Structures are given as structure tokens and as C-alpha cells.
Amino acid sequence: MTPLDLADPAVVADPYPAFAAARAVAPVQWHDGLGSWMAFTHAESNAVLRDRRLGRVWAD
């Protein structure tokens, strides 16, 4: 798969086809350009946001 180019004007104008293509490859992927992981589904995004081990600042 071609890496997701978030600066591509076509992706900026309509990101949904690019996200669908990425999601078809894998729901979570490393992005070399950003140096971070990207989650492309609601389930994986929700899991990342709720997992305290993944860098979230938490105060009880």
C-alpha cells in the first residue's frame, strides 16, 4: 500500500477514500512520516483512547 499522505490535496479535500483503503490493509498502522501509530476504525480508536498504558495523562 502507498503510505497515507495527509498533505495530499486530494486527501485533504476528501480523506474518506484514503482512510477506507488504509483500513482495508489493517485497522492500526505505523506511519513513518508522522512517527506514530494511526487507528482507522472506531473500535481501535476507542481502545487507544481508553488504554492508560498508551501515554494518557490520568488523574484520579
Residue 4 CA to residue 36 CA, distance in Å, equals 12
The residue with greater pLDDT, 52 or 24, is 24
pLDDT at residue 18, as a whole number: 93
Determine what percent of the chain falls in helix, strand and coil, rounding each to the nearest 5: 45, 15, 40
pTM here? 0.72
Domain assignments of the chain as residue spans, ordered by start: 23-50
Q: Are 25 and 40 in contact (CB under 8 A)?
A: no
Q: What is the mean pLDDT of residues 31-56?
A: 87
| Tens digit of each residue's pLDDT (9 = 90 or more) over 12-35 | 999 999 999 999 999 999 999 888
Q: What is the mean pLDDT of the chain?
A: 87
